């Protein structure tokens, strides 16, 4: 299989308690901090590679339990997509999202291998959808949070 160019980016960040000393992504990887993500989520897999000082805690994908872990101070921060974190923050008073992102998950279209004409057609369609504003309008109409149109030629993914 082949992958098209990236057409959208799903932003990954962290949810912390209001009084947390963690103010930005640069504050995440500190000794003594417990940073959580859900099992096998893209941000958790990324943190396994890049965290050097903080302890990674893997949790089940259960919003009530994630909220409880944060408010009970069992963890210092929860990493996930901005969409998931925004939803969780709405039901977890006393929390805030960090203003910056750890990374963006690229969204691509899979094309069968050895089909260069098909790959070229898909990439041309993405270019047209980006240039016409179709992708941006789709994000806005769908109400997606933390999703952005990928600029042409962008390289995205875990920084590690």
Average pLDDT by stretches of 10, the chain with 160 residues: 96 97 97 98 96 98 97 98 97 97 96 96 97 97 96 90
What is the pLDDT, as a whole number, of residue 4? Answer: 96
pTM: 0.91
Rounded distance, CA 22 to CA 98, Å? 8
What is the pLDDT, as a whole number, of residue 155? Answer: 86
Rounded distance, CA 75 to CA 36, Å? 6
Token digits of residue 37: 């993500």
Token digits of residue 70: 């944060």
What is the pLDDT, as a whole number, of residue 12? Answer: 98
What is the pLDDT, as a whole number, of residue 35? Answer: 98
CA distances 32 to 2, 5, 29, 70, 106, Å, are 42, 39, 9, 15, 31
Token digits of residue 14: 């962290």
Residues 6+ apart with CB under 8 A from 85: 13, 14, 15, 78, 97, 146
The number of angstroms, rounded, from the C-alpha of 73 to the middle of its chain's C-alpha atoms is 22
What is the pLDDT, as a whole number, of residue 17? Answer: 98
Q: Are 76 and 33 in contact (CB under 8 A)?
A: yes
Alpha helices in 25-159 (DSSP H): 42-50, 63-71, 82-90, 116-132, 134-142
Nearest to 130 by CA among 117, 142, 143, 148: 148
What is the pLDDT, as a whole number, of residue 160? Answer: 79
Rounded distance, CA 44 to CA 57, Å? 9
Go through the domains of the chain in sequence order and give each one's CATH number.
Answer: 2-7+105-149 (no CATH), 12-102 (3.40.190.10)
């Amino acid at each position: 299989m082949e992958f098209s160019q990236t057409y959208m980016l799903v932003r990954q960040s962290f949810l912390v308690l209001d009084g947390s000393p963690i103010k930005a992504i640069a504050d995440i990887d500190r000794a003594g901090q417990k940073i959580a993500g859900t099992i096998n989520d893209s941000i958790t897999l990324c943190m396994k590679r890049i965290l050097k000082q903080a302890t990674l805690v893997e949790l089940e994908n259960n919003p009530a339990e994630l909220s409880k872990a944060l408010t009970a101070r069992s963890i210092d921060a929860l990493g996930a997509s901005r969409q998931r974190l925004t939803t969780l923050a709405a039901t977890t008073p006393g929390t805030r999202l960090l203003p910056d992102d750890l990374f963006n998950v690229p969204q691509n279209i899979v094309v069968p291998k050895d089909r260069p004409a098909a790959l070229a057609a898909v990439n041309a369609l993405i270019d047209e959808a980006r240039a016409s504003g179709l992708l941006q309008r789709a994000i806005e109409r769908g109400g997606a949070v933390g999703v952005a149109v990928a600029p042409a030629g962008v390289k995205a993914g875990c920084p590690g």
